[in-house]
Amino acid sequence: MNWYQLGIKEVFNKLNASENGFSDKQARERLLQFGHNKLAVEEGISKLKIFFHQFTSPLIYILLVAGIATLLLKEYIDSSVIFAVVILNAIIGYFQEYKAEESVRALKKMVVPKAKVLREGKEKEINSEELVPGDIVLLSSGVRVPADLRLFKTLELKIDEAILTGESIPVEKITHALAEPNLTPGDQKNIAFMGTIVVSGRAKGIVVETGKKTLLGNIAREVKEVGIVKAPLQEKIYNFAKSIGFIVLGASFLLFFIGLFVGESAKDMFMTAVAAAVATIPEGLPIVVTIAMAVGVAKMARQNAIIRKLHAVETLGSTTVIGSDKTGTLTKNEMTVKLIFDGKHIYEVEGSGYEPKGNIFYEGIPIDVKESKNLISVLRIGLLCNESNLYEEDSQFKIDGDPTEGALIVSAIKAGLNLEEEKEKYEQIAIIPFESERGYMATLHKHRGKKIIFVKGSPEKILNMCKSYPDGDEINKKEILKIASEFAKEGLRVLAFAYRNAPHELEELTCKETECHDINSGLIFAGLQGMIDPPRPEAIEAIEECKKAGIRVVMITGDHSITAMAIAKKIGIASKDEEVLSGKEIEEMDDSQLFEKVKTVSVYARVSPQHKLRITRKLKEHGEIVAVTGDGVNDAPALKAAHIGIAMGKTGTDVAKEASDMVLADDNFASIFHAVREGRIVFDNIRKVTFFLIPTGVAAILSILGTITFGLPIPYVPAQLLWINLVTNGLQDVALAFEPGEKNVLRKPTRDPKEGIMNRLLIERTVIVGLLISAGVVYNFVNAINAGDSLQKARTVAVTTMVFFQFFQAWNSRSELQSIFKIHPMSNPFLFYSMIAAFLAQLSVIYVPAFQWVFRTEPITINEWTQILIVSSTVIFAVEIDKLLRRKRSVKKAEELWNMNF
């Protein structure tokens, strides 16, 4: 039901109610009919169910099998490590998922416990849950609205709807019906919505919706329906693990049957196949993914981005579209006067925000304001016809009151006016507060024995009350409205200012309804001031960097289309001829039309919570990885539906924060961009670890298959395979999680969302490296046997060759394209020292008698060491050649692209 379109009588008739309210009996009957005024209670979260959900990944299945297999092999250390990884991942995942399910509960905090109602004409306080449609509710300053109300009596009522619309300026409420269809909640000015706060004034309203049928109730339902959104990384790990699982199991079975075919015993081949499977499974990957993301979390926190859900770190790096609020995120949320017209000239005002510093310019030249009497007059009226205050707190200037009035105080101080001195000179003796139906505010002042009225309001209203300029000439309304229109086209909010001398006997300003006879005509026009919530300079820079990084930024705001487009052009989101899509237009579109529109539209204005959710879903349907910002209750469904929900730390509601994946401590768009950079580094590092682990695992199986095929003994015993897997892999893979970002990390195009952890480049290189390592191991193993060494010594040579191949492969993994000879060894000290530790561990296995017995090794000679180093270092040169060829190819592609475009 569009209650805002109905007249008061029609609303009362439809609800079968009266202005005196119901009797207690009628209210009880209605309560049975409509139910309690409370949000839908979400079924309790099963902690046990969430915990067991952590064991449903294919990689975890493989790890559990590997753990059991190592227990069968009596390799208790290895099995302990594997089970520790499984349990640690389960614990971390459990806490992430449990937190994610808390968002609906935060909505309950928005529901007020008590409400003042009329029952049989008498005022009564009741529990807000007992409110029913048709109840008459009384609102006063400071009260939270207890249900959706259609207002029928108001007295200077202003309501803060920031939690629903995201806009910080309180809304002046009205009572008459609004004929326009499909209005967004922000434009339904005769409705007071559940959960919003009365800033000033009083009102009576009739309850039209309660509980889950209210706007807040609909949002709670949508948050619940959205459910858990799987992060791209979670899906990639799932698919990757599934593929690895099939490959490892297939290779292990093949290894087992080939061994049987060539005459090996079933028991030996079973143990070898299981050990090879364990060596090939990248069981270190889940813990390294967790560590890499935890490192990213710490770095992001230093950039004012607080990560609530660990997977958000990587998802940020894959982001292709950022849907951002305007107010406070892209702008400073501090209204600032930028242009002033004094009846003759237009002046520019320097500075932004509430800090009262900046010059006033005329045609680009600073002026002495004291020489311009008319300009002083405009600024003085703005300063004194005002109910707000400017104050300083923690070295920051803030406004107590309306942001628009705050901007007028700041512009006057910039011109050299002193608030306290002006108040003394022009003592205020009466006031008519601003009301939207009246369209202006007026104050009466005493000055040097005379009385003067100051007025401010909308240009159209003020001009209708004016007769002349200060010099007595008749005003040119058409010219002034044209200037006001030019200001508005630049996204400025325009106020007009006027004054007149008042009779000496006048002591108060009297009004009948919207007419005030003392000021209805005969005013002298003083001028115009145009103000805007200015863009953050760092947001402009961040948006430019986003474009270079291949990330599209769209603005989704509750503000008006003209203002939204003006800011979008200034900060580089929209081009000159780009269209704005309004909430009203979205309302009239079906899903297929909106699906087409989101491909090209970058600015959405006057949007409702449902619109924001629809936009987010349609972007996702295009295969985009979507990050959405928000601070109000209205944003919760979209925040939860997006791959990354980003809530505001300063202005955000609890509901928005609970539904989000990340909270911006400084509410600044630039912090999102810094977080995107860290997210890209995290994903790069996960890829580096994967490229380090997979080829060496592949080489282990290939080298065993190779020796069996040629009728040779297996080059490793199971314990040696587990040693390679546990000690060498176990140290370097974790160290690679700490790799610093590469210089061009933000110049790379955004990844194809469908691309897995292993891209084509890494798959091709994995094949090259896997074949080379297995060939190198088999070559050294065969050489040792041919030289007359014992099988135990030949296996020691094979194991050591594999270990050193892994050392060099760890260095190769540090960059996909950059030469390792250009990367400083100490840029990742963890890797450097982990390799020293692994090298010392390998020496102990070769030369310490106790370890020789456990791992069946023998000491090796200098000549054998030399051969091992020469053979294993070939992997560096192979990968360097591959990197060089790919760099040349990418330069050639870049040149072709440049020639095509220019």
Catalytic residue positions? 325
The SS3 of residue 656 is helix
Give residues with Cβ within 8 angstroms of 691, minimum separation 6. Answer: 758, 762, 765, 766, 812, 813
State the virtual CA torsion across 216, 222, 226, 228 in degrees, nearest 10: 30
DSSP state of 111: S
Alpha helices in 227-372 (DSSP H): 232-261, 266-280, 284-302, 312-318
* Cα separation, 151 vs 175, whole angstroms: 5
User: Rounded to an integer, what is the distance from CA 207 to the centroid of its chain?
Assistant: 35
The SS3 of residue 207 is strand
State whether the Cα torsion 124-129-132-137 is positive or negative: positive
Q: What share of the chain is helix, strand, coil (3-state, %, to 5)?
A: 50, 15, 30
Amino acid at 739: E
Phi, psi at residue 59, to the nearest 5°?
A: -65, -35
- DSSP string computed for 395-456: TEEEEES-HHHHHHHHHHHHTT--HHHHHHHSEEEEEEEEETTTTEEEEEEEETTEEEEEEE
Length of the chain as a residue count: 902
HEC-encoded secondary structure of 603-655: EEECCCHHHHHHHHHHHHHCCCCEEEEECCHHHHHHHHHCCEEEEECCCCCHH
Which strand (E) or helix (H) includes residue 199?
strand 197-209
**29: closest CA among 175, 134, 160?**
134
Contact assessment for residue 205 and residue 137, using Cβ atoms and an 8 Å cutoff = yes
**173: closest CA among 450, 552, 473, 435?**
435
* Cα separation, 176 vs 669, whole angstroms: 39
Q: Which residue has the tokens 């959960």?
A: 195
**605: closest CA among 186, 322, 4?**
186
Contact assessment for residue 325 and residue 656, using Cβ atoms and an 8 Å cutoff = no
DSSP state of 713: P
Structure tokens belonging to residue 284: 């270190």
Contact assessment for residue 618 and residue 591, using Cβ atoms and an 8 Å cutoff = yes
* Cα separation, 691 vs 810, whole angstroms: 9
Q: State in Å, rounded, how far the first CA of the chain is from the last one.
A: 56
Which strand (E) or helix (H) includes residue 773?
helix 760-786
Give residues with Cβ within 8 angstroms of 135, minimum separation 6. Answer: 17, 21, 22, 27, 117, 118, 147, 206, 207
* Cα separation, 726 vs 76, whole angstroms: 12
User: Rounded to an integer, what is the distance from CA 705 to the centroid of its chain?
Assistant: 49
772 phi-psi bin (left φ>0, alpha ψ -120 to 50, beta other) = alpha
State whether the Cα torsion 546-552-558-559 is positive or negative: positive
847 C-beta neighbours (distance < 10 Å), count: 13
580 C-beta neighbours (distance < 10 Å), count: 20
